[in-house]
Chain A
Amino acid sequence: MVDESLLRTLTPTVIGILGRRGADFAAAEDALQDALVEAVRVWPDDPPRDPKGWLVTVAWRKFLDAARADTSRRHREVRVEVEPLPGPSEVADDTLRLYFLCAHPSLTPASAVALTLRAVGGLTTRQIAQAYLVPEATMAQRISRAKRTVSGVRFNQPGDVATVLRVLYLVFNEGYSGDVDLAGEAIRLTRQLAAKTNHEEVAGLLALMLLHHARHPARTGPDGNLVPLAEQDRSLWNTRMIAEGVGVLQAALARDRLGEFQAQAAIAALHADAPTAEETDWVQIVEWYDELVRLTDSPVARLNRAVAVGEADGPRAGLSALAELDPALPRHTAVAAYLHERDGDPATAARLYAEAARSAPSLPEHVHLTRQAARLNAQLRG
């Protein structure tokens, strides 16, 4: 057996080392993928004493082979034959630079996600294709286009950590539940980033992921249906993960530089803190939503705030907060349905649930909303 997680952890380090030896990013990444394939073939019978050294040696050889082949094709000089020694000025972390490169603003979100999973996460193209339900050939093209897009970017250029966080958030929040555990991978990559940076929003995102992932076992019922937060069996929540998330969040908040991920994590922590749904501290949650709206001005934050207001100050207050928002917002109708039911108007709620089901963006939500409408309609028939 090859220790796949070891290979994946070593991936960005080895790409970084090849980069410092003069390989451009695209070539270094290709060489490393070739070396990974060889490792999977060779290691079971002949495990290396120094896995990292082995990978560097083999990947470098692959790189030189490719560069020579390229040269003989094009009849021009290879300039990377001589290994430049890494100088003492090499301070920036190789892995950190890769995070920035793979999340470069010139990439579309989908390309940045794919490139990050491959070059930083060490996933194969096939695994990434399976995770996003597209053919392997399509994903291979998406990755090679992404590599071409960033080929002009200098490898050692520092970037904006916010772009990296957006990519990691997407990996966590928008994957399919296939064989590849994208949520777990996003947490691993964010944890690794947090260890290499001293940025409160990186910590905020890590806390947010941990606090939501802790609820994973309770999110789906035995029948595969979505279980809303208020109805989840809280004994299924992962308390160790919650404790870690709360600890990471508290350390971040103590630095007194609030950001959107810290605010979202604080909301998740308040939910985690409530032994039952009824004991949720909605007043404090509304205050955090006020912060979040102030920080992001996001319509989604305003919509979620309306839900929290409905819990804190009653459904009427929630409905009037909702009335200020654009009805075309995704999930607006579902929120209205919920608040109308709480307000004692099951007929309106049933109609709105059915309407929300028709425009639901995912099948589990469609089923959930249809079920809500059916429940109320049955109740109305008496």
Chain B
Amino acid sequence: MAKYLLLKHYRGAPAAVNDVPMDQWTPEEISAHVQYMQDFAARLEGTGEYVDGQALSQEGTFVRYDGEGRPPITDGPFAETKDLIAGWMVIDVDTYERALELAGELSAAPGAGGKPIHEWLELRPFYAAPPTITE
């Protein structure tokens, strides 16, 4: 088994085929989209492949250390940040091919006009545990 992160970007990924911003959809289209995501997660739980899924708010803050005894410095949010993560799903599957298949299905979530969004999802493998037998 191997764990993979399916990463969804607000910005930074190549443009989707059905690239209409969500605030231009009808309320029914939004409901259908949310329902699809929930059904997808529930189905993966049923197959024993679901690990985690979260969505992130768009507004974030950059934080960094500013030296001993000083409060951390904050900056942002930056409206022009190139890459913006929207959320993720973590799956635990038998093969890379299965991970590709599931990412493809998730990318087909319905958007404007009830048509699949065809959005680009980033697929990233997790580090596994190191094997004991190496020679």
For the complex, give the distance between the alpha carbons of A361 and B52 in Å: 21
Q: Tell whether, in the assembled complex, residue B131 and residue A137 are in contact, meaning their CB atoms are under 8 Å apart.
A: no
For the complex, give the distance between the alpha carbons of A199 and B135 in Å: 24
For A139, list chain B residues within 8 Å (CB). 48
B132 at the binding interface (Cβ < 8 Å): yes
Interface residues of B in 78-119 (CB under 8 A from A): 92, 94
For A267, list chain B residues within 8 Å (CB). 135
Residues of chain B at interface, number, CB under 8 A: 22
For B127, list chain A residues within 8 Å (CB). 360-363, 366
Contact of A133 among B3, B45, B125, B133 (CB under 8 A): B3
User: Per-position contact with B for A227-264: 1 when CB-CB < 8 Å, else 0?
Assistant: 00100000000000000000000000000000000001
Q: Closest A residue to B44 by CB, please name it.
A: A138
Q: By DSSP majority rule, is chain B's interface helix, strand, loop, or mixed? A: loop
For A183, list chain B residues within 8 Å (CB). 132
For A132, list chain B residues within 8 Å (CB). 1, 92
Interface residues of B in 1-33 (CB under 8 A from A): 1, 3
For the complex, give the distance between the alpha carbons of A177 and B128 in Å: 11
Given contacts A109-B1, A264-B133, contact A362 B46 (CB under 8 A): no
A158 at the binding interface (Cβ < 8 Å): no
A34 at the binding interface (Cβ < 8 Å): no
Q: Tell whether, in the assembled complex, residue B94 and residue A364 are in contact, meaning their CB atoms are under 8 Å apart.
A: no
Contact of A172 among B47, B49, B130, B132 (CB under 8 A): B132
Given contacts A108-B94, A109-B94, contact A174 B131 (CB under 8 A): yes
For the complex, give the distance between the alpha carbons of A264 and B125 in Å: 29
A51 at the binding interface (Cβ < 8 Å): no
Q: Tell whether, in the assembled complex, residue A362 and residue B92 are in contact, meaning their CB atoms are under 8 Å apart.
A: no
B73 at the binding interface (Cβ < 8 Å): no
For A208, list chain B residues within 8 Å (CB). 133
Q: Tell whether, in the assembled complex, residue A177 and residue B129 are in contact, meaning their CB atoms are under 8 Å apart.
A: yes
Q: Tell whether, in the assembled complex, residue B94 and residue A110 are in contact, meaning their CB atoms are under 8 Å apart.
A: yes
Q: Shortest distance in angstroms between A106's beta carbon and chain B's nearest beta carbon?
A: 14
For A145, list chain B residues within 8 Å (CB). 46-48
For A229, list chain B residues within 8 Å (CB). 134-135
For the complex, give the distance between the alpha carbons of A268 and B132 in Å: 12
Q: Tell whether, in the assembled complex, residue A134 and residue B130 are in contact, meaning their CB atoms are under 8 Å apart.
A: no
Interface residues of B in 28-85 (CB under 8 A from A): 45-52
Q: Closest A residue to B129 by CB, please name it.
A: A176
For A95, list chain B residues within 8 Å (CB). none
For A226, list chain B residues within 8 Å (CB). 130
**Which of the four size classes fits the interface of chain A?**
35 or more
Q: Tell whether, in the assembled complex, residue A137 and residue B94 are in contact, meaning their CB atoms are under 8 Å apart.
A: no
Q: Shortest distance in angstroms between B43's beta carbon and chain A's nearest beta carbon?
A: 10
For B48, list chain A residues within 8 Å (CB). 110-111, 114, 134, 138-139, 141-143, 145
For A143, list chain B residues within 8 Å (CB). 48
For the complex, give the distance between the alpha carbons of A142 and B1 in Å: 12
Q: Tell whether, in the assembled complex, residue A304 and residue B45 are in contact, meaning their CB atoms are under 8 Å apart.
A: no
For the complex, give the distance between the alpha carbons of A208 and B3 in Å: 27
A105 at the binding interface (Cβ < 8 Å): no
User: Per-position contact with B for A343-382: 1 when CB-CB < 8 Å, else 0?
Assistant: 0000000000000000011111110000000000000000
Q: Tell whether, in the assembled complex, residue B92 and residue A134 are in contact, meaning their CB atoms are under 8 Å apart.
A: yes
Q: Tell whether, in the assembled complex, residue B45 and residue A137 are in contact, meaning their CB atoms are under 8 Å apart.
A: yes
Interface residues of A in 159-182 (CB under 8 A from B): 172-177
For the complex, give the distance between the alpha carbons of A53 and B16 in Å: 63
Q: Shortest distance in angstroms between A381's beta carbon and chain B's nearest beta carbon?
A: 28
Q: Tell whether, in the assembled complex, residue B46 and residue A141 are in contact, meaning their CB atoms are under 8 Å apart.
A: yes
Q: Shortest distance in angstroms between B64's beta carbon and chain A's nearest beta carbon?
A: 23
For B46, list chain A residues within 8 Å (CB). 141, 145
For A133, list chain B residues within 8 Å (CB). 3, 51, 92
For the complex, give the distance between the alpha carbons of A52 and B70 in Å: 64
Q: Tell whether, in the assembled complex, residue A138 and residue B92 are in contact, meaning their CB atoms are under 8 Å apart.
A: yes
For the complex, give the distance between the alpha carbons of A118 and B40 in Å: 27
Interface residues of A (CB under 8 A from B): 108-111, 114, 132-135, 137-139, 141-143, 145, 172-177, 183, 208, 212-213, 216, 219, 226, 229, 264, 267-268, 271, 304, 307, 360-366
Extra inter-chain contacts (11) besides given A138-B50, A307-B135, A364-B130, CB under 8 Å: A108-B94, A132-B92, A133-B51, A135-B45, A138-B49, A173-B133, A174-B131, A212-B132, A267-B135, A271-B135, A366-B127
Report, nearest first, the 7 A-B pairs whose CB atoms are least far apart. A142-B48, A362-B130, A363-B127, A110-B1, A141-B48, A176-B129, A364-B130
